[in-house]
């Protein structure tokens, strides 16, 4: 989704802004632009398409920029919501008096009424966007005090915003504000930066301040003054980012997605580090902040998440019911608040979100909190809104996930869910011996994942054999059913092949009608409970002449004799099989997409972080 970068300081800001925009490209966008204050005027250049196209345009239209004294600026990558992707609709937007430039993430729900009002007061508009209203509203409210004007404008807005503003009225001051859309301030030496995502600024500083909703910050090169919308100063802590810019770079991999797939042994290792209590044979998850007694009182778990995170939650559902005996259900976060969920005093809500900013998941957190539930989030991005609003939870420590298709977040989410389930189960019915067996295998996860990665070349060969299909089915049962859904999601989002994830038993209740020689089936046939039944499902597919690719436990002759092609998975229990198996399916999707020449890290129409409902 849209991205914001801003800079104020001693340097010429153009290169820093462009660099920041490039680091936000992974979020998905259709146009980009920058505005800087230069020689008492606002210099704004925007373009449709990639940041590299914008960079070229800046070079052509403003070749002398490196020699100019432009020390303050804002920049944006836009993902169209109101108004088609176009140069005019892209940000920054400048008010009709030419004094205020803004970049905005979010949606102004009442923009039509505000626009009518502003037009009546003599303002003019160039774009079809809701965001342009904000620039004119600040201009309308300006009476010599930039903070007061911003606050007055934002008070009139119904909707969400992550906002950055520069002006000719106070040309040394960058203003940022947030409500429902993240803004982080990077604290530098004689310079300060702002962004909607740490990745844009981590190359310049690791000291950051996360704004809360309705915070407005006035930022100069050496001062950060944060107040709430009612002009009351607020103290916000400086947090230290624990990952470096290397983590947000490709490091020789062709794509971020491939890098992140290959990072999974380390990522999962980091998610597990320090979290296994060898003495008591349980998990250490201090962020849960729950006593064993409080844990035993939880009698129901609701997971709320979207997309890949929801699939992780579906594996968690098995863990909690199977190991801890706690009735669990997984809700599509988008439906959560609309279906009036039944939340009793002892219900635990677990929102799962890599970004920690997904609008629907955040809304579920708020609904749950309003109903008095205990909320414990699983997030990757430290300081993200869902993590902060949930109050308690577990971070993944997976490092930044840049590829739009989620990979390492999924394996880390499932690993953390397994630890969580073991922790709950140990306060109930899981004995030391069985807990030890599970945790011993959990410790093997990095090695098990490495074993799958070592087969990447074989997986590539199989992927390229089937990569020209137009339709695909992924089937699984039990613990591997959510993995079938996830495998199909990976394939469709990056290769654009229509792929359906199905419970293997459901195939004969309808979709089997679609099977024919041109429709391959990926059958998850690892040697875990349910395998016998999956073998029967493979027979059903073969009888309809669909080619079958199977994931199978290394050395499984039975599956090998039935399937057309086999992707080998190291022997492991049902508990860790989802984590290990999904890695093979990620690689499969990756190689199919690469063979088809797709834009793997930024698939069409997709955004990394979905901050609108």
Active site residues per annotation: 2, 608
| Helix, strand, coil percentages in the chain from 3-state DSSP, rounded to 5 | 40, 25, 35
Query: What is the token pair recorded at 311?
Result: 């699939």
Residue closer to ligand F6R by CB (options 185, 600) is: 600
What does the alpha-carbon distance between residue 469 and residue 77 come to, in Å, rounded to a whole number? 34
Closest CA to 407 of 258, 593, 219: 258
CB of 125 to ligand F6R, least distance (A): 32
Q: Which is nearer to ligand F6R, 361 or 546 (CB)?
A: 361
**Least distance in Å: CB of 55 to ligand F6R?**
27
Cβ neighbours of residue 291 under 8 Å, at least 6 residues apart?
none
Let me know: does 435 contact 428? Beta carbons within 8 Å: no
Q: How far is the CB of 89 from ligand F6R (least distance, A)?
A: 24
Q: Which is nearer to ligand F6R, 192 or 355 (CB)?
A: 355
DSSP 229-282: TTS-B---PPEE--S-GGGGS-TT-SSHHHHHHHTHHHHHHHHHTT-EETTTTE
Contacts of residue 508, Cβ cutoff 8 Å, sequence gap at least 6: 540
Beta bridge partners of 566: 550
- 591-595: Cβ within 8 A, 24+ apart: 591/459, 591/460, 591/463, 591/464, 591/467, 592/463, 592/464, 592/466, 592/467, 592/491, 592/495, 592/497, 593/494, 593/495, 594/254, 594/255, 595/463, 595/464, 595/467
Shortest reach from residue 413's CB to ligand F6R, in Å? 8
Q: Which is nearer to ligand F6R, 30 or 493 (CB)?
A: 493
- When CB distances to ligand F6R are compared, the closest residue is 307
Minimum separation from the CB atom of position 309 to ligand F6R (A): 4
List residues near ligand F6R by CB under 6 A.
Answer: 306-309, 353-355, 358, 361, 405-406, 489, 493, 609-610
Q: Closest distance between ligand F6R and the C-beta of residue 418, in Å?
A: 18
Alpha helices, DSSP H only, in 132-225? 132-141, 146-155
Considering the complex, state which of residue 103 and residue 607 has its C-beta at the smaller distance from ligand F6R. 607
Q: Is the dihedral of CA 146, 147, 153, 154 positive or negative?
A: positive
Shortest Å distance, C-beta 351 to ligand F6R = 8
> What's the longest Cα–Cα distance across the chain?
79
Nearer to ligand F6R, 151 or 376 (CB): 376
Nearer to ligand F6R, 137 or 491 (CB): 491
User: Radius of gyration over alpha carbons of the chain, in Å?
Assistant: 25
Give the chain's end-to-end CA distance (angstroms, integer).
12
């Amino acid at each position: 989704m849209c991205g914001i970068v801003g800079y104020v300081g001693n340097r010429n800001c153009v290169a820093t802004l462009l660099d920041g925009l490039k680091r936000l490209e992974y979020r998905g966008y259709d146009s980009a632009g920058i505005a800087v204050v230069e020689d008492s005027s606002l210099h704004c250049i925007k373009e449709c398409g990639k940041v590299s196209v914008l960079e070229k345009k800046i070079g052509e239209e403003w070749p002398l920029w490196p020699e100019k004294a432009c020390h303050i600026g804002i920049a944006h990558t836009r993902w169209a919501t109101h108004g088609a992707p176009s140069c005019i609709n892209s940000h920054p937007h400048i008010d009709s008096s030419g004094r205020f430039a803004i970049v905005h993430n979010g949606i102004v729900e009442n923009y039509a009424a505000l626009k009518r009002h502003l037009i009546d007061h003599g303002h003019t508009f160039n774009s079809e966007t809701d965001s342009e209203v904000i620039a004119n509203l600040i201009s309308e409210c300006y009476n010599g005090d930039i903070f007061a004007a911003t606050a007055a404008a934002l008070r009139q807005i119904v909707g969400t915003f992550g906002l950055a503003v520069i002006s000719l009225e106070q040309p040394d001051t960058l203003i940022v504000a947030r409500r429902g859309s993240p803004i982080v301030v990077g604290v530098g030496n004689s310079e300060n930066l702002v962004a909607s995502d740490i990745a844009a600024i981590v190359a310049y500083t690791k000291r950051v301040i996360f704004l809360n909703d309705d915070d407005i910050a006035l930022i100069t090169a050496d001062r950060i003054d944060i107040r709430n919308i009612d002009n009351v100063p607020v103290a916000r802590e400086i947090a230290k980012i624990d990952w470096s810019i290397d983590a947000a770079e490709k490091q020789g991999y062709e794509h971020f997605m491939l890098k992140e797939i290959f990072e999974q042994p380390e990522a999962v290792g980091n998610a597990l580090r320090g979290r296994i209590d060898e003495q008591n044979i349980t998990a250490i998850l201090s962020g849960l902040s729950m006593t064993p007694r409080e844990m035993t009182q939880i009698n129901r778990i609701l997971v709320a998440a979207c997309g890949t995170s929801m699939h992780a939650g579906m594996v968690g559902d098995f863990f909690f019911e199977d190991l801890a005996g706690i009735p669990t259900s997984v809700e599509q976060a988008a439906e959560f608040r609309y279906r009036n969920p039944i939340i009793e005093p002892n219900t635990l809500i677990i929102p799962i979100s890599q970004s920690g900013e997904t609008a629907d998941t955040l809304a579920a957190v708020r609904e749950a909190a309003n109903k008095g539930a205990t909320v414990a989030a699983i997030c990757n991005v430290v300081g993200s809104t869902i993590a902060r609003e949930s109050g308690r939870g577990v971070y993944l420590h997976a490092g930044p996930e840049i590829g739009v298709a989620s990979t390492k977040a999924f394996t880390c989410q499932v690993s953390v869910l397994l630890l969580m389930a073991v922790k709950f189960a140990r306060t109930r019915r899981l004995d030391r011996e069985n807990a030890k067996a599970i945790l011993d295998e959990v410790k093997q996860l990095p090695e098990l994942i490495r074993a799958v990665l070592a087969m990447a070349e074989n997986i590539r060969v199989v992927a390229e054999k089937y990569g020209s299909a137009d339709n695909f089915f992924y089937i699984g049962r039990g613990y591997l059913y959510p993995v079938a859904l996830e495998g199909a999601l990976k394939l469709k989002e990056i290769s654009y092949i229509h792929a359906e994830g199905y419970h293997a038993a459901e195939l004969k209740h309808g979709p089997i009608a679609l099977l024919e020689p041109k429709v391959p089936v990926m059958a998850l046939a690892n040697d875990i409970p349910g395998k016998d039944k999956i073998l029967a499902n493979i027979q059903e597919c073969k009888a309809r002449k669909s080619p079958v690719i199977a994931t199978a436990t290394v050395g499984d002759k039975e599956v090998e004799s039935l399937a057309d092609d086999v992707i080998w998975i190291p022997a492991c229990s049902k508990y860790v099989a989802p984590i290990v198996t999904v890695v093979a399916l990620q690689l499969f999707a990756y190689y199919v997409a690469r063979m088809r020449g797709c834009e793997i890290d930024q698939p069409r129409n997709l955004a990394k972080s979905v901050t609108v409902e």
